[in-house]
Amino acid sequence: MEKDELVLVVIVNNKRDLHIAHTQNWYRIPVDKAPAELKNVRYIAFYQTSAFGKEKWKIDYWAEIKSISRLKRSQLLPLEKDHPDADKEYYKVNTGEVKHLPESIKGKKGRRILFVTTNLTKFKSAKTVDDLFSNIKKEKNKMAKIGVIHYNFPGLSFTDYLKYAKDTGYEYLELAISDVWTPEIDNPEAKAEEVRKEVESFGLKVSALSAGNDFVVLDEEKIKAQVERMNRICGLGNILGAYAIRTEGGSPKDSVPEEKWVDAMAGCLVRCVDAAEKNNIKLAVDNHGYITNDGDLQVELFEKVGSDWVGANMDTMNYRWAGHTLQELAHYYEIVAPYTFHTHMKDGTGSLSNYKGAALGDGEIDLEYAVKCLKDAEYDGVWCSEYEGPEGADTGFLGYTKCYKWLKENI
């Protein structure tokens, strides 16, 4: 065996797929998500997600690849011919015997990967998942993805917003649900396709779509309405090319006692996981408003849902806005970072009525520590700026320009 032979680490989201690998010696990879180097890979290794309970977040098994063929899902899983993705094409990776590693390769709590290639030497000596990808981590840090939210741009048309983002240097956008779906828009799917094409015409990409949902509900009819709406939003996000849906927790209500907040939100999120997985899009719960502006509660929520499709949108300022101390913010950055899919990089001073927004680096938030926590957790999503300070339209949106410069210099 040559030391530079390649090993592809794949994510396994359910026990059935690993069982098939063990008993039938094949694994499926969606053609539209397959890594370009698949044809050059000699081995495959299986990273177990939270679906495996106590056996989660580690690699225990691997196998040699014998051949690769291309089939429809209905051919791979003939008992599921009525599945919505029955005609979707997959690579069938045929393997030899699936072998158990002498020692597990362990991941960090909540560490999320998709397909990553490493070499055999590194794979055989690895004790942790980080050992596999140390060189990739450095490369990712060189290629930070910097974005800007479509928010607080008064007076700008959507097209002017795109032009500002492009001219400033931003590459990614977080869009609002109102950009593609309002009561006046009869066909939001067609609108999303139209928006995607306009975004791409500027050389930009959509990282996230905000949902504006409210999952703090217990009434079954209200739950059903929220879930159906979110499932459709996942589809819209997929059309836009987004990788995350910025998800709200919800607002306090007399009908939902405080001790039921987490149960209510988790109940809705669990029912949205299938749509998220189908559309290959993450549900990133924002620390926004009152209820989810608490890092400990967020982690409790993520653990209760127990899905790798549900995590956080970390807003660096909002915890402070809600009244938490700077010391508490540091703790929240530490514990929420491993679950983070998307960010709002935001600065300012004060809390509640005393809050004042500021450009990144001009407020009291320890942004450097937030960045450190995220990088330590192998965050590889978009660093999305959000600005709520005074330097707006009358200054040519100087505040957002300053935010871009800070991100470019510090990420």
Q: Which domains does the chain have, with CATH numbers?
A: 6-138 (2.30.130), 144-410 (3.20.20.150)
Instruction: Report the pLDDT averaged over residues 333-340.
Output: 95
So what's the pLDDT on residue 86?
A: 87
Structure tokens at 281: 């899009």
Residue in the structure block whose two tokens are 């989660």: 56
So what's the pLDDT on residue 334?
A: 96
Confidence grade of residue 110 (pLDDT, cut at 50, 70, 90): low
Confidence grade of residue 113 (pLDDT, cut at 50, 70, 90): low
What pLDDT, in 10s, does the model give residues 37-67?
888 899 999 999 877 888 888 999 999 999 9
So what's the pLDDT on residue 132?
A: 82
Strands 99-106 and 115-119, how do they pair? Answer: unpaired
Structure tokens at 246: 């910025």
Instruction: Report the pLDDT averaged over residues 184-208.
Output: 97
Examine the pLDDT at 140 and tell me if it is beyond 80: no
Nearest-CA neighbor of 131 among 118, 143, 146, 113?
118
Strands 115-119 and 6-12, how do they pair? Answer: antiparallel
Confidence grade of residue 1 (pLDDT, cut at 50, 70, 90): very low
Examine the pLDDT at 115 and tell me if it is beyond 80: no
So what's the pLDDT on residue 137?
A: 46
Beta bridge pairs of residue 99: 62
Nearest-CA neighbor of 56 among 103, 14, 9?
14
Confidence grade of residue 32 (pLDDT, cut at 50, 70, 90): confident
Q: How many residues does the chain have?
A: 411
Structure tokens at 213: 């949902």
What pLDDT, in 10s, does the model give residues 350-376?
999 999 999 999 999 999 999 999 998
Where helices occur in 30-155 by DSSP H, the ranges are 73-76, 120-125, 129-132, 134-142
pTM: 0.74
Percentage of the chain with pLDDT > 90?
79
For residue 94, the one-letter residue type is N
